[in-house]
Amino acid sequence: MKAPAAQPLKPTPDPIEVGSFFLETMTTGMYEDPFHCIREYIQNGFDAIQDAVRQGIISADDGRVLISLGGSQRSPSLSVRDNGTGIPTDRAYSTLVSLGASRKTPALHAGFRGIGRLAGIAYATTLRFTTSAAGEEIATVVEYDCGRIRGYFSPGAEPVDVRDVMRSSVTTSKKPAAADEHFTEVEMLGLVNLGKEFVDLTKLQPYLRTISPVEYSDSFDYADRIRALADGFGAPLATVHIELRQKKERKPILKPYKNSYPTYKKTTFSKLHNIETFTSPEHGWFGWIGVSNFPGEIVDEMAEGVRFRIKNIQVGDAGIIEGLAEELTAAGSEKRLQPWAVGEIFLTNPKVVPNARRDGFEDSAAWRDVRREIKELVVRRIIKLVRSASSTRSAMKALDDALSKLTSQVSAEIMDQAEKTRLEGLLKKQLQTLASPEKLVGADPKEVSRLTSKFKELAEFLAKRAIVEPEPPEDEEEQEDESDDETGDSDEDADTEGDDASDEEEEDEDSAPVTRKDAILVVLKSELEASQAERLADAIVEKLAELGL
């Protein structure tokens, strides 16, 4: 019996429905921190600027993002405008109303899912996009009625197809634009709920400095080394110029890294004296950590802990590195040491992808390789530096104390051979300690150099000192005289003694006795520069001479 012939599949009614509550997930439910919606617009502007650079529309240094605060106290507003490619008029509307249909790719762009654009719906009355591409004289305007949209997913509302929500809540129009303009501007008008916090400069400015792909401050001593590290890795740090405008005042946004950070000990600062760098071409990442005396946990929320970046935009916060440290022990105790350090990890591996909330990374083999390597190289290094810092501080203090004590001893008025040998041994020991990096982990190289120089000066001074043996007690001299009288030394013996005395005088003349000025110089050079010490020593000697001392 023949099997029945296969029948072609018949089309069935489409049962798939995407309801209005889906938009709640994409807006109010997407981000833990409301300020992240501003990051999404900065990220989109950054991508558009990088596209404009690749297309030759602007140079790499000409990318601009302007964040403006306006409106009234009761109804404030915030806008983000970039000078990237803009969107051509023939596809501007479809691009700006599509959901999860981005044409961008993770290899070239920071954002690529096509959902971040909706973030402002949760915090504004009206969300307006205006865009124009180079060479066009028309700008496209797309407005979202955010209040109406939020009504569709308020508690108790009937679900409505997302497409119907968009059709009823989004309008579009055209307006003239200059042909040489290319831009996209996002305006959140009539900020509501937590969105009103966006115009609080004490919150907005630190947030922008933390997450934005901007330059380091000129006052940060290690900026050039970090840029050189990125260039050498083949991944130069892409940056844009971001300004924050309120009324007529404009403030440039720069990364928060600096040379000194406050700690939980109110009067104690963690002062960087070096950075250590890391590279992994195999797994696609590089980074740096600051080296200081690590006196305590840093309390600068913008910089504490090592931060992760993709396309130079921060992903998550210091919680990522703390999570890696927590995995090192069953009790998770190493987590607490990570905020004692600052630093950045730049991820270049295109297979390492941020999650949709951009507070961490999607689980993948590539990310697991990276996190494993960072845990061993960076996290453990921070732990070692912090734990070694206490002993290093003690060692450096001991060296300082030894310098002061040895300076006094080397300058003593009388010194015999035994004392000179003892001091030479002590100076040699201090110099050996200073030449042993493993004994001074994390020590300030400038301070190590200063102490090394001072101990060497002491050693050189000691080498030139003449040995003066102490004179025998008077009773011993009397006994020797009596012994000489009893034995009746001959004239020949007297002549021999005279010759010996003459030899000793000649030796004294050949040696270079330490002068008053030499002794004064040793003390002064331990505190002052050589030229200053020399001038002051001359003045002191002259004054002593005037006083007849």
Q: pLDDT tens digits for 392-402?
A: 888 889 999 99
Q: Are residues 30 and 93 in the same domain?
A: yes
The pLDDT score that the predictor gives to residue 506 is 44
Name the residue with higher pLDDT: 492 or 54. Answer: 54
Name the residue with higher pLDDT: 414 or 256. Answer: 256
Alpha-carbon dihedral sign for residues 404, 408, 410, 416: negative
Q: 286: domain CATH number?
A: 3.30.230
Q: Tell me, what amino acid is at 236?
A: P
Chain center to CA of 540: 47
Q: Are residues 457 and 406 in the same domain?
A: yes
138 by DSSP, 3-state: which? strand
Q: Are residues 177 and 39 in the same domain?
A: yes
33 by DSSP, 3-state: which? coil
Has residue 484 been placed in a domain?
no
Mean pLDDT of 20-47: 83
CA dist 534 → 371, 412, 419, 529, 538 (Å): 57, 19, 27, 9, 6
Burial bucket for residue 504 (CB in 10 Å: 0-12, 13-18, 19+): exposed
- pLDDT tier for residue 134 given thresholds of 50, 70 and 90: very high
The pLDDT score that the predictor gives to residue 497 is 45
The pLDDT score that the predictor gives to residue 502 is 45
Mean pLDDT of 317-331: 94
Residues 416, 471: Cα–Cα separation, whole Å: 11
Residue for token pair 């000066």: 457
506 by DSSP, 3-state: which? helix
- pLDDT tier for residue 474 given thresholds of 50, 70 and 90: low
Has residue 4 been placed in a domain?
no
Q: Are residues 379 and 401 in the same domain?
A: no
Residues 30, 122: Cα–Cα separation, whole Å: 10
Residues 25, 159: Cα–Cα separation, whole Å: 14
- pLDDT tier for residue 272 given thresholds of 50, 70 and 90: very high
pLDDT tens across 352-389, in order? Answer: 999 988 899 999 999 999 999 999 999 999 999 999 98
The pLDDT score that the predictor gives to residue 113 is 67
Residues 188, 118: Cα–Cα separation, whole Å: 11
Count Cβ atoms below 10 Å from residue 1 Cβ, excluding itself.
3
The answer to whether 318 touches 302, Cβ cutoff 8 Å, is: no
Q: Are residues 373 and 397 in the same domain?
A: no
- pLDDT tier for residue 310 given thresholds of 50, 70 and 90: very high
The pLDDT score that the predictor gives to residue 301 is 94
pLDDT at 53 over 70: yes
The answer to whether 523 touches 454, Cβ cutoff 8 Å, is: no
Domain that holds residue 519: 391-471+510-546
CA dist 35 → 30, 320, 432 (Å): 12, 19, 53
The residues that bridge with 198 in the sheet, in sequence order, are: none
Residues 357, 25: Cα–Cα separation, whole Å: 11
Mean pLDDT of 272-297: 96
CA dist 75 → 72, 123, 125, 143, 248 (Å): 5, 12, 9, 17, 19
Question: Which of 70-79, 111-120, 144-153, 502-511 comes out lowest in average pLDDT?
Answer: 502-511
Q: 122: domain CATH number?
A: 3.30.565.10
pLDDT tens across 200-231, in order? Answer: 999 999 999 999 999 999 999 999 999 999 99
Name the residue with higher pLDDT: 528 or 435. Answer: 435
Q: Are residues 164 and 308 in the same domain?
A: no
Structural domains in the chain (count): 3
Mean of per-residue pLDDT scores for the chain: 86
- 3-state DSSP percent of the chain in helix, strand and coil, to 5: 45, 20, 35
Residues 345, 286: Cα–Cα separation, whole Å: 6
Q: Are residues 75 and 108 in the same domain?
A: yes
The answer to whether 242 touches 42, Cβ cutoff 8 Å, is: yes
Helical pair 319-326 and 365-374, crossing angle rounded to 10 deg: 80
Q: Are residues 384 and 396 in the same domain?
A: no
pLDDT tens across 482-537, in order? Answer: 555 554 444 444 444 444 444 444 444 444 556 777 777 777 776 777 777 777 87
The answer to whether 365 touches 409, Cβ cutoff 8 Å, is: no
Q: Are residues 42 and 93 in the same domain?
A: yes
R_g of the chain computed on alpha carbons: 37
Q: Are residues 319 and 379 in the same domain?
A: yes
The pLDDT score that the predictor gives to residue 509 is 42
Q: Are residues 362 and 401 in the same domain?
A: no
Q: Where among 388, 406, 432 does a domain terminate? A: 388
What length is written for the chain? 549
- E-strand stretches of 253-356: 260-262, 269-271, 274-280, 285-291, 305-310, 313-315, 342-347
Residue for token pair 């995407």: 18
Has residue 395 been placed in a domain?
yes
243 by DSSP, 3-state: which? strand
Q: How many helices (H) and strands (E) does the chain have?
A: 16, 15
Has residue 489 been placed in a domain?
no
pLDDT at 282 over 70: yes
| Terminal Cα-to-Cα distance of the chain (whole angstroms) | 134
Element (H, E) at 288: strand 285-291
Has residue 205 been placed in a domain?
no
The answer to whether 295 touches 339, Cβ cutoff 8 Å, is: no
Q: Where among 164, 199, 234 does a domain terminate? A: 199
Q: Are residues 340 and 440 in the same domain?
A: no
Nearest of 142, 184, 140 to residue 52 by alpha carbon: 184
Residue for token pair 């980074």: 287
Q: Where among 388, 420, 446 does a domain terminate? A: 388
Has residue 215 been placed in a domain?
no
Question: Which of 104-113, 124-133, 411-420, 478-487 comes out lowest in average pLDDT?
Answer: 478-487
- pLDDT tier for residue 467 given thresholds of 50, 70 and 90: confident
Has residue 534 been placed in a domain?
yes
Has residue 241 been placed in a domain?
no
For 190: left if phi > 0, alpha if psi spans -120 to 50, otherwise beta; the answer is left
The pLDDT score that the predictor gives to residue 514 is 64
